[in-house]
A and B are shown apart, each in its own frame.
Chain A
Amino acid sequence: MSATRRITYREAVREALREALLRDPRVFLMGEDVGRYGGSYACSSGLLAEFGEERIRDTPLSESGFVGAGIGAAIGGMRPIVEVMTVNFSLLALDQIVNNAATVRHMSGGQIAVPVVIRMATGAGRQLAAQHSHSLECWYAHVPGIRAVAPATVADARGMLWTALQEPNPVVIFEHATLYNDEGEVPGEGELAVDIDRAAVRRAGDDLSLITYGGSLKKALAAADALAGERIGCEVIDLRTLRPLDEETILASVRRTHRALIVDEGWRSGSLAGEIAARIAEEAFFDLDAPVRRVCSAEVPIPYPRHLEEAATPQVDGIVAAARGLVRR
């Protein structure tokens, strides 16, 4: 076992892509500007030179066309990794993902597997306004037939891709756009694959379960640090997989802490946070000492100015205040 290393989230994604291309000749990467440009978030820089145009395929701006082609190629025996620039753009490919990738196995009576991996950036925080900043993970997590995962740590960014490629089902990977420059630890060579079935307890605590995923994890951890100073112990749960939800880990934590606060960058109405709250209410109602609370995005398209963008999305202060309110009831 080699020692752990410290790399950025972007480097982790790039290493994971390269590793997959080296290990499996069926793997190819396809998307807008993944080749010559090096990826709109620079996750695939250098890969075109190493693997050539057949395996690093720049596509036209045709989200439905190339995502559908990825689905077809997966059915045809390949292991495509399709990159969509942002979750907002992925709406142009929703037909292919929801009506084809998620359904063909079922409506063919189990004859077809669709081992396609679709990666996309998601989330706010870079002042990109209302057509590049949304968090629509829950739209995908709503759909049976799809697996949705959100690597929130550098190690998960490094490991989840390979695990997703072993999955004989469509996997959508959401990479929060504010994470790419973050640094973190990854294991040494040969310990790459990570589990994509279970949530992870990122910090243990007894007073409150802070349940979150993706770009909100670091905010939840910062809030937990602040709350520790007030002797409020937060258990921080990183969902990691948004569909299927690891209900067991969530409920086990809530049954112990008796309080749940869900942090979700999606809008509150119809959110993943709402689904989690409902499950807690259904399964652990009598274990609760306080109502479930949520910190979500405000019901507004994400605005451009920094102060309004921050006001619209979950922030550390808001999480701390909500947690305090829950514990001091």
Chain B
Amino acid sequence: MTAPEPHKVRVTREHARELLRQMILVRRFEEACIELYGAQKIRGFLHLYIGEEANAVGVMQALTPDDAIVATYREHGHALIRGIPPTAVMAEMFGKATGCSRGRGGSMHLFDVSRRFYGGNAIVGGGLPLAVGLALADKLRGLARVTCCIFGEGAAAEGEFHESLNLAALWKLPVLFVCENNRYAMGTAIERSESVPDIRRHAEAYGIVAEEVDGMNVVDVEVAARRAAEAVRAGDGPRFLENHTYRFRAHSMFDPDLYRDKAEVEAWKQRGPVVRFTQWVLDTNTLHRADIDAIETEVAQTIADAVAFAEASPLEPVEDLLRDVYAPRPAAPGAPAS
């Protein structure tokens, strides 16, 4: 294992601890989900983020509470790091009324508008036009906010990807596009689906400044995301990051994972974001083993609390089935503004 480069940002002891804590939180949360899926507490599709943690953790460091996030169905990590309480995320997995989407969305549709977290979007590529629209609203309203749109490399084959990149570049909209390239769109390797597998070149074709990032290295991701978000916030139009990453688990719990070599998975695991960053903080004496143990203890408690909360939470009554299909009209509909 080679340790990451020291980087241009100074990773203080406190910051290193926080980065590691966040990655471990996501990792342990996902591991708990696997168990809970086996116990049939979580049902439906469950897409795990194990192996990709450095991306959500690195990118979220660059965003302020005013910025918006549009994510995909592999979004547990992004939701947790954005600050949606693990209790509310886990309750959502359980389909409980206390979930962050009242249990109506489940694993693929985590929402928290108070934290400007706009899903949890499960149509590949479908979130990109939404992000463009959120950014357009900000631009029209004169708000210097970033909309961070996260998607996988599979989205690059969708028309909506190209339409959205073109619109964002054409209108100089404040969107930070983050492609988490984990090399497989479900079971289809990128070389088998893209005539030009360098996704960043697609963005460059639209005149968008794009950067390749080691998505297994949390500090690299943070540095790149800060740089890109700053440019976007400055009104410089969209930016694009292509983060090279890998999922260690199958696409979903239904996936027998027959399409890739075990050796390939193992090789990527050796470069795992948690193991690698842990090694680095220990090697550099940034953190000590006791610090890491303390993080593990704290995270274990957080997850135990989340599971207990989800277990104890009520299901929504069936009588409420039809709620939240339409928003209620304001009290005086049709009243002209002037």
Name A's B-contacting residues (CB within 8 A).
22-24, 28, 54, 59-60, 62, 64-78, 80, 95-96, 99-100, 104-115, 144-145, 147, 162-163, 166-169, 192-193
Complex alpha-carbon distance, A42 and B225, angstroms? 44
Which stretch (B14-22, B135-143, B262-270, B292-300) binds chain A?
B135-143
Query: Cβ of B333 and Cβ of A78 under 8 Å apart?
Result: no
Q: Does B204 contact A (CB under 8 A)?
A: no
Query: Cβ of B330 and Cβ of A23 under 8 Å apart?
Result: no
Given contacts A65-B167, A107-B101, A111-B101, contact A144 B140 (CB under 8 A): no
Q: How large is the interface on B (under 10, 10 to 19, 20 to 34, 35 or more residues)?
A: 35 or more
Q: Does B317 contact A (CB under 8 A)?
A: no
Give the 3 A-B CB pairs with smallest separation, nearest first. Answer: A72-B133, A68-B129, A76-B137
Query: Cβ of B111 and Cβ of A108 under 8 Å apart?
Result: yes
Contact with A along B95-133 (1 / 0, CB 8 A): 000011111110001011100001111010010111111
- Nearest B-chain residue to A108, judged by Cβ: B111
Which residues of chain B have C-beta atoms less than 8 A from A67's C-beta? 129
Which residues of chain A have C-beta atoms less than 8 A from B126's C-beta? 68, 95-96, 99-100
Q: Does B191 contact A (CB under 8 A)?
A: no
Max count, chain A CB within 10 A of own CB: residue among B99, B112, B327? B327
Complex alpha-carbon distance, A96 and B159, angstroms? 12
Shortest Cβ distance from residue A36 to the other chain B in the assembled complex, whole angstroms: 15
**Given contact pairs A68-B126, A105-B325, A109-B103, a sample of 5 additional A-B residue pairs in the complex whose CB atoms are under 8 Å apart:** A23-B337, A65-B160, A77-B141, A106-B104, A107-B120
Shortest Cβ distance from residue A93 to the other chain B in the assembled complex, whole angstroms: 9
- Nearest B-chain residue to A98, judged by Cβ: B123
Which residues of chain B have C-beta atoms less than 8 A from A105's C-beta? 324-327
Q: Does B336 contact A (CB under 8 A)?
A: yes
Query: Cβ of B159 and Cβ of A64 under 8 Å apart?
Result: yes
Q: Does B328 contact A (CB under 8 A)?
A: yes
Given contacts A24-B337, A65-B160, A95-B160, contact A72 B129 (CB under 8 A): yes
Query: Cβ of A69 and Cβ of B113 under 8 Å apart?
Result: no
Shortest Cβ distance from residue B290 to the other chain A in the assembled complex, whole angstroms: 41
Shortest Cβ distance from residue B185 to the other chain A in the assembled complex, whole angstroms: 17
Q: Does B329 contact A (CB under 8 A)?
A: yes
Query: Cβ of A72 and Cβ of B136 under 8 Å apart?
Result: yes
Complex alpha-carbon distance, A76 and B129, angstroms? 13
Complex alpha-carbon distance, A193 and B131, angstroms? 32
Given contacts A78-B140, A96-B129, A112-B113, contact A64 B328 (CB under 8 A): no
> Which B residues from 312 to 338 make CB contacts under 8 A with A?
323-330, 333-338
Shortest Cβ distance from residue A117 to the other chain B in the assembled complex, whole angstroms: 14
Which residues of chain A have C-beta atoms less than 8 A from B132's C-beta? 65, 68-69, 72
Query: Cβ of B170 and Cβ of A71 under 8 Å apart?
Result: no
Which residues of chain B have C-beta atoms less than 8 A from A54's C-beta? 140
Given contacts A69-B136, A75-B133, A76-B137, contact A106 B325 (CB under 8 A): yes
A144 touches which one: B103, B119, B325 (CB < 8 A)? B325
Which residues of chain B have C-beta atoms less than 8 A from A162's C-beta? 334, 336
Which residues of chain B have C-beta atoms less than 8 A from A28's C-beta? 140
Contact with A along B251-275 (1 / 0, CB 8 A): 0000000000000000000000000
Complex alpha-carbon distance, A99 and B108, angstroms? 13
Shortest Cβ distance from residue B75 to the other chain A in the assembled complex, whole angstroms: 13
Complex alpha-carbon distance, A192 and B170, angstroms? 36
Query: Cβ of A109 and Cβ of B167 under 8 Å apart?
Result: no
Q: Does B164 contact A (CB under 8 A)?
A: yes
Q: Does B166 contact A (CB under 8 A)?
A: yes
Shortest Cβ distance from residue A48 to the other chain B in the assembled complex, whole angstroms: 16
Complex alpha-carbon distance, A114 and B134, angstroms? 12
Complex alpha-carbon distance, A100 and B134, angstroms? 13
Q: Does B198 contact A (CB under 8 A)?
A: no
Which residues of chain B have C-beta atoms less than 8 A from A72's C-beta? 129-137
**Could you name 26 residue pairs across A and B whose Cβ atoms are closer than 8 Å?**
A54-B140, A65-B160, A68-B160, A69-B167, A71-B129, A72-B129, A72-B133, A72-B135, A73-B133, A73-B136, A73-B137, A75-B133, A76-B135, A76-B141, A96-B129, A100-B121, A100-B126, A105-B327, A107-B120, A108-B113, A109-B105, A111-B112, A166-B334, A167-B333, A169-B327, A193-B336
Q: Does B305 contact A (CB under 8 A)?
A: no
Shortest Cβ distance from residue B278 to the other chain A in the assembled complex, whole angstroms: 36
Shortest Cβ distance from residue B53 to the other chain A in the assembled complex, whole angstroms: 25
Q: Does B311 contact A (CB under 8 A)?
A: no
Which residues of chain B have C-beta atoms less than 8 A from A145's C-beta? 325-326
Which residues of chain B have C-beta atoms less than 8 A from A167's C-beta? 329, 333
Complex alpha-carbon distance, A109 and B328, angstroms? 14
Query: Cβ of B130 and Cβ of A108 under 8 Å apart?
Result: no
Q: Does B283 contact A (CB under 8 A)?
A: no
Complex alpha-carbon distance, A68 and B329, angstroms? 23
Complex alpha-carbon distance, A210 and B328, angstroms? 32
Which residues of chain B have C-beta atoms less than 8 A from A115's C-beta? 327
- Nearest B-chain residue to A60, judged by Cβ: B166
- Nearest A-chain residue to B114, judged by Cβ: A111
Query: Cβ of A71 and Cβ of B329 under 8 Å apart?
Result: no
Q: Does B163 contact A (CB under 8 A)?
A: yes
Query: Cβ of A166 and Cβ of B333 under 8 Å apart?
Result: yes
Complex alpha-carbon distance, A169 and B327, angstroms? 6
Which residues of chain B have C-beta atoms less than 8 A from A74's C-beta? 133, 137
Shortest Cβ distance from residue B334 to the other chain A in the assembled complex, whole angstroms: 4
Given contacts A72-B129, A72-B130, contact A111 B113 (CB under 8 A): yes
